[in-house]
Structure 1
Amino acid sequence: MAAADLSVILPRVLIVSRRSVRKNKFVDFVGEYHLDLIVSYGAVPVIVPRVTGVHMLLDSFEPIHGVLLCEGEDIDPSHYEADASNLSPEELEEIRRLHASDTAIDREKDAIELGLAKLCLERNIPYLGICRGSQILNVACGGTLYQDIGKELSKNVGQQPHERVVHMDYDNYDGHRHPVRIVDATPLHQWFNHSLYDADKEIWVNSYHHQGVKKLAQRFVPMAFAPDGLVEAFYDPDAYNPDDGKFIMGLQFHPERMRKPDSDEFDYPGCPFAYKEFAKAVLAYQKKLNSMTSVPKLDVEMEKKRKIIVRSFSLARNLYDGGCGDDSELEAGAEFLEGVERAAGDAAEADGGDGEECVVLLGETETERGEGEAGEERDREDVGGAAVGSHGVLPHDGADML
């Protein structure tokens, strides 16, 4: 795509679809709330279909201004330290039975999303991970997951009854909530600040997961904890500045679905802020990307200087190629030629180029040579009064022409 085209397209946010079965066929989908919020804040969602081989074609989705990953099955345990869970074969079988809709591993989706997450980390592309998307982000950075919170977390920390949390309730999918404590001086605290009425600084979030962060990757800082100690939100403080196009964050809960019953009103005013700030970063990233790929134009004054250098170079080459009366004149002509070539490179560099264009133009065409031979009077004025003798132009000071 040409650089000029980048400035006229809207910022693009890639979202990977989730596969399901309908009428005995696979269908791909993305939740409408994600799409609505991305559009409402000024970006365009581009759905990456979960199709075999797409992970090899991610370049075809360029330019990428942001990535939002959300929802899906469990991540293949081979991508993190699954052996450290100490779960017995019987426990693993029970987990597969209790969470049959989530434990069917989708390796192609894993490959696509891990590829996109690593691309964002390498190029500082804004990234928002919701639920599974937060787990993908943590794994991509070297973190690990609980294969099953119910089996592992309570066993590891010896929870008291009041600390036990239900993170998945299939019978009350949208209505189920549990509290999380928000950490001070984090983006989440800023977004929900007006809803933190008590000293516990808690909000109630929805919860649709049986896995979660076990070891948080080193680069991340927690933003919220459940009562059982599970990290429910995190971000990279060194990669968070939406105004400057920086945003790397994971939320285990779904703020886009935290809405009052039979209403589109959010539970808290801060719920849509993750999407709002993410979209702000996406727009800022697009502007930065466009500025890096745009080609500056010559202003009038610089173009005038370029033409003077072109004509002067032509006259100097006539001197150098045509021969002089003695060695001193040849040396003077050579020095002048080298000075003009340096000046041409400097002018091109100031214009934002690499000097190659000026080298091509300087004195190489018959048109420019003609200007040197047939228009000596005009050229005398342009080069600031260079002396013209029987053998061509003899410069008294190369600086005068610039």
Structure 2
Amino acid sequence: MPRRPVIGIATQTLPGKPGERQPCWLMGRSYVEELRKVGGVPWVIPLIPHDPDTLQEIFDRLDGVFITGGVDVDPTRYGEPKTELCGTIDPDRDAVEIALLQHALNRQLPVLAVCRGIQILNVACGGTLYQDVSTQVPAALKHDFFPTPEQPSRKYLAHDITVKAGSRLGYILGEAVVPVNSMHHQAIKDLAPGLAATAFAPDGIIEGVEGTASQYLVAVQWHPEELTETQPGMKRLFTTFTGAASAA
């Protein structure tokens, strides 16, 4: 039986509650399940930036890197003060994911990133973010369709995206216009060197990027893990990624 590719996924901090729980690291099950379904071996990575040697031991065992959604990226990472527009941040997660991405870029490991993932990838490569799209982008669409008790679905298709012809993302999705869900309030502002924008929302917000070299490096602003059962292109994001990791 062929060896299955090991995919690294950084966690997120859940603060402790005195008398109830100690601080935890956690990650959503849907990300892990989608990777498992397509043959990946998910490796959930603790947030221990104070122990780079242990992190490096983990990184050296990976065949690919998957960066998930989550809390906001700390604006100090891209040279801006944190304002009231920015929500909860997780500095340990920022540090570990940037180190993980730098390792993947240096080793040419396949990378797939979603939602917050496209944002931290852009920051790790030298780009910047809007701290809040609704207040910083004139005429922006509503992008923050976060689940609520009244509307709990993460599968709601909020708007279409237009995909650049001839791009890797276009080849994977197989369509020029694709409906997507949308659960974010931050987004790429200045695109990082070495990344190419390959998908856009109707208001011009960058919804997809990829690397300009041969490395499998794809990032999207939506949550494809919620749409794999209804859109074959979303499933192909995971199968092509794990396929590339198998060959790494």
After TM superposition, the score normalised by the length of structure 1 is 0.55
Q: Which residue of structure 2 aligns with residue 49 of structure 1?
A: 46
Residue of 141, 151, 158 corresponding to 1:165: 141
Q: Which residue of structure 2 aligns with residue 279 of structure 1?
A: 242
Shift of 1:121: 1.0
* Alignment pair present for 1:247 and 2:216: yes
* Alignment pair present for 1:227 and 2:211: no
What is the distance in 1 between the residues matched to 2:70 and 2:51? Answer: 17
Instruction: Give the length in aligned residue pairs.
Output: 239
Residue of 62, 65, 73 corresponding to 1:64: 62
What is the distance in 2 between the residues matched to 1:104 and 1:218? Answer: 27
Q: Which residue of structure 2 aligns with residue 33 of structure 1?
A: 30
Residue of 4, 8, 12 corresponding to 2:6: 12
Classify 1:26/1:176 alpha carbon distance in 2 versus 1 (closer, same or farther; 3 Å). farther
Q: Which residue of structure 2 aligns with residue 130 of structure 1?
A: 114
What is the distance in 2 between the residues matched to 1:257 and 1:55? Answer: 33
Shift of 1:236: 1.0
Classify 1:132/1:228 alpha carbon distance in 2 versus 1 (closer, same or farther; 3 Å). same
Q: Which residue of structure 1 aligns with residue 158 of structure 2?
A: 177
Shift of 1:81: 3.6
What is the distance in 2 between the residues matched to 1:52 and 1:119? Answer: 14
| Structure with greater contact order relative to length (CA < 8 Å, sep ≥ 6) | 2
CA RMSD of aligned residues (A): 2.3
Residue of 182, 193, 197 corresponding to 1:218: 193
SS for the counterpart of 2:47 is coil
SS for the counterpart of 2:88 is coil
- Whether the 8 Å contact between 1:178 and 1:205 is mirrored in structure 2 is yes
What is the distance in 2 between the residues matched to 1:76 and 1:54? Answer: 21
Residue of 136, 139, 142 corresponding to 2:126: 142
Shift of 1:55: 4.5
Structure 2 gaps of 5+ residues are none
- Whether the 8 Å contact between 2:4 and 2:40 is mirrored in structure 1 is yes
Structure 1 gaps of 5+ residues are 1-7, 84-88, 97-102, 240-245, 260-264, 286-402
Which structure has more strand as a fraction of its residues? 2
Shift of 1:111: 0.8
What is the distance in 1 between the residues matched to 2:116 and 2:246? Answer: 24
What is the distance in 1 between the residues matched to 2:30 and 2:10? Answer: 14
* Alignment pair present for 1:113 and 2:97: yes
Return structure 1 stretches of 4+ with deviation > 3 angstroms: 21-25, 170-173
SS for the counterpart of 2:189 is strand
What is the distance in 2 between the residues matched to 1:182 and 1:192? Answer: 9
Counterpart amino acid of 1:255? P
Shift of 1:43: 2.2
Shift of 1:186: 1.3
> Per-residue displacement from partner, 1:187-237 (whole Å, max 9, x unpaired)?
2222332xx4xxxx3221111111111111121111210111111001013
Which structure has more helix as a fraction of its residues? 1
What is the distance in 1 between the residues matched to 2:234 and 2:54? Answer: 34
- Whether the 8 Å contact between 2:224 and 2:234 is mirrored in structure 1 is yes
What is the distance in 2 between the residues matched to 1:54 and 1:182? Answer: 40
Classify 1:105/1:38 alpha carbon distance in 2 versus 1 (closer, same or farther; 3 Å). same
